[in-house]
Amino acid sequence: MKKIAVFTSGGDSPGMNACVRAVVRTAIFKGLEVYGIYRGYEGMIDGEIKRLQSHSVSNIVQRGGTVLKSARSMEFKTPEGRKKAYDNLIAHGIEGLVAIGGDGTFTGAKLFFEEYGIPTIGCPGTIDNDLYGTDYTIGFDTAVNTALEAIDKIRDTAAAHDRIFFIEVMGRDAGFIAVESGIGGGAEFVMVPETKTNLDDVVKSLKNLRKTKSSSIIVVAEGDEAGNAQTVMEKVKAKLNDPTKDFKVTTLGHIQRGGNPTARDRVLASRCGMSAVEGLLAGHQFHMAGVVNQQVVFTPFADCIGKTKHLIEDHLKLMKILSI
């Protein structure tokens, strides 16, 4: 293998740049030519492919977002789109790919590999932490800390006004951000897509809490089956039926996707990036390079996207015990 390319795809996450840097520098260190594909699968289809040098990735390790840009490509979902992408890779002589992204990215990579056989190693880049095959994903730690900082600030004003706050965090299908920011931020309740929340329990707990605390924080993952934070607030407010209580909703939204990556994210990203290149050279073909129990592990894309990564049981227990 002489030429490889790297791209970022799907929702960006802090640490993607550190990962790109590690891929580029490891590839050059190993004597490979390395190319950057801009705007993910869209750029692969449109031929936005450029040779990268070591200096191309200088001064990016600390930056959020992705210098390669990102996109969610509809065209890549079509056989015609994938054929165009393949032709562009062949025109550049690219023999291996490193795909940095989440489940959508790996779904595309798996299909592309099955059709055209270009070896592809994935690096887990998503704030959601919802990928099987790695303890943490690149960007999760930063996103949790961003959410935590916001929760701390909201806690100040909630306490000053004796208010009940519903704070919506990201996590379309997974509650990892909600649970960790909830534990760290001392939330009274956390609602996640993985478990059904009985709103009567929330109401009961708010009634009990009122005896000991005047303000409350309820963290709601955006994908919760009871609805978004606004809907949940309205339902709980109606059930609680206490006009003396003041309810507020804050949706944290895309601030969770930006910002300088934490040290943990930069190190994880660098490690996955280096391992992805080493994995390609070692003959791995359709695997994600993740870190499990401190060790780099290569997991087939089919498992990364097909198997469920469960919330940590102790975290859920902690939420219950610590919120009394």
- Give the interface with ligand F6P as residue ranges (CB under 6 A): 11, 102, 126-128, 170-172, 222, 257
Nearer to ligand F6P, 89 or 170 (CB): 170
CB of 256 to ligand F6P, least distance (A): 7
- Smaller CB separation from ligand F6P, 170 or 277: 170
Minimum Å gap between C-beta 193 and ligand F6P is 11
Residue with tokens 């490891």: 26
Amino acid at residue number 187: A
Question: What backbone torsions phi and psi does residue 277 show, to the nearest 5 degrees?
Answer: -65, -45
* Active-site annotation holds for 173: no
Q: One of 12, 46, 87, 128 is an active-site residue; which one?
A: 128
Q: By C-beta, is 222 or 224 nearer to ligand F6P?
A: 222
Read off the tokens for 148: 């935590």
What is the chain's alpha carbon radius of gyration, rounded to the nearest angstrom?
22
CA dist., res. 269 & res. 71, Å (int): 20
**CA nearest 272: which of 69, 136, 127?**
136
Q: How far is the CB of 102 from ligand F6P (least distance, A)?
A: 5
As to burial, measured by CB atoms within 10 angstroms (0-12 exposed, 13-18 middle, 19+ buried), residue 234 is middle
Closest residue by Cα to residue 171 from 8, 11, 9: 11
Residues 6+ positions from 279 with CB-CB distance below 8 Å: 121, 287, 289, 298
Please provide the distance, in angstroms rounded to a whole number, between the alpha carbons at the two ends of the chain. Answer: 58
What's the closest the beta carbon of residue 188 comes to ligand F6P, in angstroms? 23
Smallest distance, Å, CB 72 to ligand F6P? Answer: 6
Known binding-site residue numbers: 11, 21-25, 72-73, 102-105, 126-128, 155, 163, 170-172, 186-188, 211, 213-215, 222, 248, 254-257
Dist. CA 107–CA 104, nearest whole Å: 5
Tokens 């004003």 identify what position? 157
Q: Cβ closer to ligand F6P: 128 or 194?
A: 128
User: Looking at beta carbons only, is 1 or 226 nearer to ligand F6P?
Assistant: 226
- Which residues are designated catalytic? 128
